[in-house]
Amino acid sequence: MSSEFMIFLVMVGVFIGGCFILKWPVSVSMLLASVAGALAGGQGIPIRHLVEGTFGYVDTILTIATAMVFMNAFRESGGLEALSTAVIRRFHKVPSILLILLTFVAMFPGMITGSSSAAVLTAGAVVAPMLALMGLPGESAAALIAMAGILGMIAPPVNIPAMIIGGGIDMPYVGFEVPLLLLTVPLAIFSALWFGYRHAKKTDMGKVLAALDTTTLDKYGALRLFAPVLLVLLLMVADRAFPKFSSLGMPLIFSIGAAAACFTGRRFNILHASKTAVEQALPVLGILVGVGMFIQVMTLTGVRGFIVVNALSVPPAWLYVAIAVTIPLFGAVSAFGAASVLGVPFLLALLQKDQIITAAALSLISALGDFMPPTALSAIFAAQVVGLKGYGTTLKKLIFPSLLVIAWALIFIIFSKQIRAAY
């Protein structure tokens, strides 16, 4: 048994022990695992490498923090509530389209923040009463919201697992928009119809429309309330389309959007909203800091190279099986951890494939970690927002869609070059 494998077992063992036995936060467990790996590898306590690892994802951390501030400001201004109201008012006569659009509304915060928990706890909480009015049982509504959470987490413009996987091989987060849309949009449409259509088509949609609170939308108007989102999207497009003239960066773009939200709808305290947003983002930010240290120590001790070399030696058929099984299972501790510890080696083992499409597909599989017990954050929070006492029935509802997600992602990996050529 090689020394690198022993070091890896020590790191994973300390990590799992910290999470499940000591019940420490994932970020602290990753810090301890990093220190344990360095000690096992004879490196002592490498302060310099731990600090370097801490700043490994500083760009992503800034993006998430400012995105959360923007999302909270948009919600406090009444924009998020008005968005779901406007969708129902416009499409209440077509239940199938309405379900799909409400799913996209539930995905929206995840698309902006890169966090499935943020999507479930913000837009999910807004959409849940609408789904109940449309006749969806609690477990079906929770499953749809949970699935929307992880699909929003993977959809562009912000996909943290893809950023982590790309960062592991120095691949910039550029050109992911189309592959991520192709991966997530069909799954979102399927999920909406799978979980909700048979219930919604039996519902009197006139009652749903009558139950809406349209005060905010009627008072301020859709164009004014949605202006911050339109501004953020415009600046993002300008940043990509005209890099010589616009180089604001996503943290500044989200900050501008948050400032604009102060003047477009309900009045609110921006400092309080920002503080709340950062508090909500801290667990995710801490995980990214821990992931950076974990990867740095894996590189320092040779563990990362050991994993890559062994992944390259696995026959292709078994490699796909390993991807389908190990990434979601490891994601039970952290979807971001699965992306870093396993996503990067698997991407290196698939260098013959299109790297952007493969990284996007691996990020989709890693997101399923948010469904894996005992953490199962997305499923737990979704069950809470619809008022269920436990999340077991929600997880059962998610088994088939999760298998479909894995199959869909593997198809993209296997045919990545053909998909790239098609667009």
> What does the pLDDT look like over 2-17, one tens digit per residue?
788 899 889 988 988 8
Q: State the sign of the Cα–Cα–Cα–Cα dihedral 12, 18, 21, 25.
A: negative
Alpha carbons 98 and 374: distance in angstroms, whole number:
33
Give me the pLDDT at residue 374, please: 66
The answer for residues whose C-beta is within 8 angstroms of residue 107's C-beta and 6 or more apart is 119, 123, 148, 149, 151, 152, 155, 184, 188
402 pLDDT band, cuts 50/70/90, is very high
158 pLDDT band, cuts 50/70/90, is confident
Give me the pLDDT at residue 245, please: 65
125 pLDDT band, cuts 50/70/90, is confident
| 205: three-class secondary structure by DSSP | helix
What would the DSSP string read from start to end of 282-319? Answer: HHHHHHHHHHHHHHHHHHHHTHHHHHHHHHHTS-HHHH
Instruction: With CA atoms as reference, report the closest residue to 280 among 161, 119, 129, 145.
Output: 119
Asked if pLDDT for residue 165 goes beyond 80, the answer is: yes
Alpha carbons 123 and 404: distance in angstroms, whole number:
24
What average pLDDT does the chain have?
87
Asked if pLDDT for residue 355 goes beyond 70, the answer is: yes
Domain residue spans of the chain: 3-422
What single DSSP character describes residue 387?
A: T
**Strand ranges in 18-119 using DSSP code E only, listed in sequence order:** none
Range in 170-179, 180-189, 244-253, 366-375 with the lowest mean pLDDT? 244-253
Q: What are 362-386's pLDDT values in tens digits?
A: 999 999 988 987 667 788 889 888 8
180 pLDDT band, cuts 50/70/90, is very high
Give me the pLDDT at residue 268, please: 93
Structure tokens at 372: 């894996």
Asked if pLDDT for residue 304 goes beyond 80, the answer is: no
143 pLDDT band, cuts 50/70/90, is very high
Question: Which of the two residues, 201 and 46, has the higher pLDDT score?
Answer: 46
Q: By percentage, how much of the chain surpasses pLDDT 90? A: 37
CB 283 within 8 Å of CB 335: no
Using CB atoms within 10 A of its CB, is residue 309 exposed (0-12), middle (13-18) or buried (19+)? Answer: middle
Instruction: With CA atoms as reference, report the closest residue to 343 among 373, 316, 314, 322.
Output: 322
Q: What are 53-95's pLDDT values in tens digits?
A: 888 778 878 888 898 899 899 989 999 888 888 888 888 788 8
The answer for residues whose C-beta is within 8 angstroms of residue 251's C-beta and 6 or more apart is 62, 63, 65, 66
